[in-house]
Structures are given as structure tokens and as C-alpha cells.
């Protein structure tokens, strides 16, 4: 019998020059709530009672002195119900379209948050379940 570790991912840590500013972007983008806030770190968690609450890892924004310089080694993939509408909404919040070498006909949109951290906006799942 294989032993399964009693281990879960608590948070995804995101280096930031301005944790408050970056957390504000992701707070609006995801509709999540702040559960901890200090000048050098901010924690976002899913809305209380949402399907993600207690399941999805928290996002922890940590102040670092250096600026982002290369493509992320880890990024978020977001799955909206309407990809085009969501891309435009994220742009209005401060995201920008980005290129990391994806093919021109890629079904996903590569974007960057206000500090340049890449993330992808995927097409909806078949059946429109988002």
C-alpha cells in the first residue's frame, strides 16, 4: 500500500515590487478577498463559500527589491466562460497582451499582469462550463 502524504499547497508566492498594487489587480481579476495585509505582503483567498474556498491555494504577494527580468517558470492558466470578453476585462484592469513565443494560432491568450508576470487565458471548455 502506497502512503499518501498529508500535504497540500497552501499558497502560491508571487514576488512583487508593490504587493498592494499587484494584489489589487488580482483581487479584481479573480473576485477574491484579502485575508491578510501588511506593507510587504498581501494574501488573497477565494470568496468565502465559493467552490474554490479552501481548495484553491492562496495567492501571497511578497515585496522584493528586484524587478522581474525573464519569463515566469510558473504561471496561472485562467479558464473563463467567454475568452474574448475576459481578455478585454483584464486589459481594462491593467493587464496587457504578451508574447512568450506562443504560436500565432494558439487557442490561448498570453497576458501579463501590471508587474509583467505572464498568465494565460484559455478558451472555454466544451459545453460552456468555463
| Nearest residue to 78 (alpha-carbon basis) of 63, 64, 93 | 93
Domain 75-130, CATH among 3.90.550.10, 3.10.180.10, 3.40.50.1820, 3.90.950.20: 3.10.180.10
pTM (two decimals): 0.90
Burial zone of 42 (CB within 10 Å; 0-12 exposed, 13-18 middle, 19+ buried):
buried
SS3 for 56-71, per residue? CCEEEEEECCCCCCCC
Cell numbers representing residue 79 in the block:
479558464
Domain ranges of the chain: 8-64, 75-130
- Fold for 8-64, please state it: 3.30.720
Residue 64 binned pLDDT confidence (cut-offs 50, 70, 90): very high
pLDDT in tens, 1-26: 888 888 889 999 999 999 999 999 99
Amino acid at each position: 500500500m502506497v502512503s499518501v502524504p498529508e500535504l497540500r499547497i497552501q499558497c502560491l508566492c508571487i514576488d512583487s515590487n508593490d504587493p498592494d498594487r499587484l494584489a489589487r489587480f488580482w483581487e479584481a481579476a479573480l473576485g477574491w478577498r484579502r485575508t491578510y495585509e501588511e506593507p510587504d505582503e498581501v494574501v488573497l483567498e477565494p470568496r468565502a463559500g465559493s467552490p474554490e474556498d479552501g481548495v484553491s491555494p492562496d495567492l501571497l504577494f511578497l515585496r522584493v527589491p528586484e524587478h522581474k527580468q525573464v519569463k515566469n517558470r510558473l504561471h496561472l492558466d485562467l479558464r473563463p466562460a467567454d475568452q474574448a470578453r475576459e481578455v478585454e476585462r483584464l486589459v481594462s484592469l491593467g493587464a496587457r497582451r504578451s508574447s512568450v513565443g506562443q504560436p500565432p494560432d494558439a487557442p490561448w491568450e498570453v497576458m501579463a499582469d501590471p508587474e509583467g508576470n505572464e498568465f494565460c487565458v484559455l478558451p472555454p471548455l466544451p459545453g460552456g462550463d468555463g
